[in-house]
Structure 1
Amino acid sequence: MSVQPRIDPFRNFNFRLEIDNLTVAAFSEVGGLTSDGDTVDYRTGVDIPLTARKLPGLRRNGPVTLKRGVIKDSSLWDWYRNIATGSADRRNGSVILMDEARNDVLRWNFENAWPNKIEGPALKAMGNEVAVESVELIVEDITLEVA
């Protein structure tokens, strides 16, 4: 009996995050898994067409934004403080998308990440929402791996 290929797309709520040396990595939102680049115009003096060639230029990745409910854990703030005080604390990580049976299906791997911005929760005395903190990671490379 052959296995039929999946037709339905995966849902966006089954995911987990792994980061080197980070004990708590349960996040409610991950964004910024992007990669783009510049184009370079180039033309030689002997080119017949009067248009420039388009060549690939430098690539850019991220930043990756992570959001989670505030818990009694300072690991993100400690990591940010390491960078802010000049420590070379770059880490690798992965965002893993899972199917309904919680099997890994896709993995976005990022390299040499470090927190550039960290934001505490917006607090409101009359509010009823979960307190959420966020961190923005600068990454040097993002690759996709199919599980």
Structure 2
Amino acid sequence: MGDYPIPKFHFQVEWGAAGNTDEPDLRFTEVSGLDKEIEMIEYRDGYNPEYSKVKMPGMVKYSNVTLKRGMFIGLDSFEAWYNTIVMNKVDRRTVTIKLLNEEHQPVVTWQLNNAWPVKLQSTDLKGDGNEVAIQTLEIAHEGCVIEYL
């Protein structure tokens, strides 16, 4: 056990198709949306003498996850994955996000099951800026398994 919180800037994302060795090891600049929530159900029993609703846990709801990375010439893997979506045919993948320690070993992993792209956003353009071009991919998924190692 460490005496300090884990820094959040050292992470790795594995999102390529199974067996795809053409995908270079790119670093992402940001991952957001790693949350889940239990929906609340309010129920009022007509026989209950109290005039308030009972609150009960409902289904688990997952947010979409957003991945951001720098744009590279000739690298269009976000676009290629996005373009696989055609009339109910979706290339669903397992996406694994790993928070790493100083020795590059995972300390927390988030596994997103049956993930697929829902939004692809190119960089904004600015004539007086000097920032790196950032590409954004938003993915939906059907479940998140969090493991603390």
- Do these two structures clear the TM 0.5 threshold for a shared fold by scoring above it? yes
- Match of residue 142 from structure 1: 144
- 1:52-105, CA deviations, whole angstroms, 9 ceiling, x for partnerless residues? 211112221121000000013111101101115542211111110011221110
- Give the number of aligned pairs: 143
- Match of residue 47 from structure 1: 48
Post-superposition offset of 1:41: 1.2
TM-score normalised to structure 1 length:
0.88
- Match of residue 15 from structure 2: 19
Q: Which amino acid aligns with 1:18?
A: E
Q: Look up the SS of the partner of 2:41 in the other structure.
A: strand
TM-score normalised to structure 2 length:
0.87
Q: Look up the SS of the partner of 1:78 in the other structure.
A: helix
Cα distance, 1:85–1:79 mapped onto 2, change above 3 Å: farther
| Alpha-carbon separation, structure 2, partners of 1:85 and 1:41 | 37
- 1:4-41, CA deviations, whole angstroms, 9 ceiling, x for partnerless residues? x2120011111000124162452111000011132111
Cα distance, 1:33–1:39 mapped onto 2, change above 3 Å: same
Q: Look up the SS of the partner of 1:37 in the other structure.
A: strand
CA RMSD of aligned residues (A): 1.7
> Does the alignment pair 1:104 with 2:106?
yes
Unaligned runs of 5+ in 1: none
Q: Which amino acid aligns with 2:9?
A: F
Q: 4+ residue runs of structure 1 moved beyond 6 angstroms?
A: none
| Alpha-carbon separation, structure 1, partners of 2:147 and 2:36 | 15
Q: What fraction of aligned residue pairs are identical, expressed as a percent? A: 33
> Does the alignment pair 1:28 with 2:24?
no
Unaligned runs of 5+ in 2: none
Alignment equivalent of 1:73, drawn from 67, 72, 75: 75
- Match of residue 122 from structure 1: 124
| Alpha-carbon separation, structure 2, partners of 1:100 and 1:144 | 20
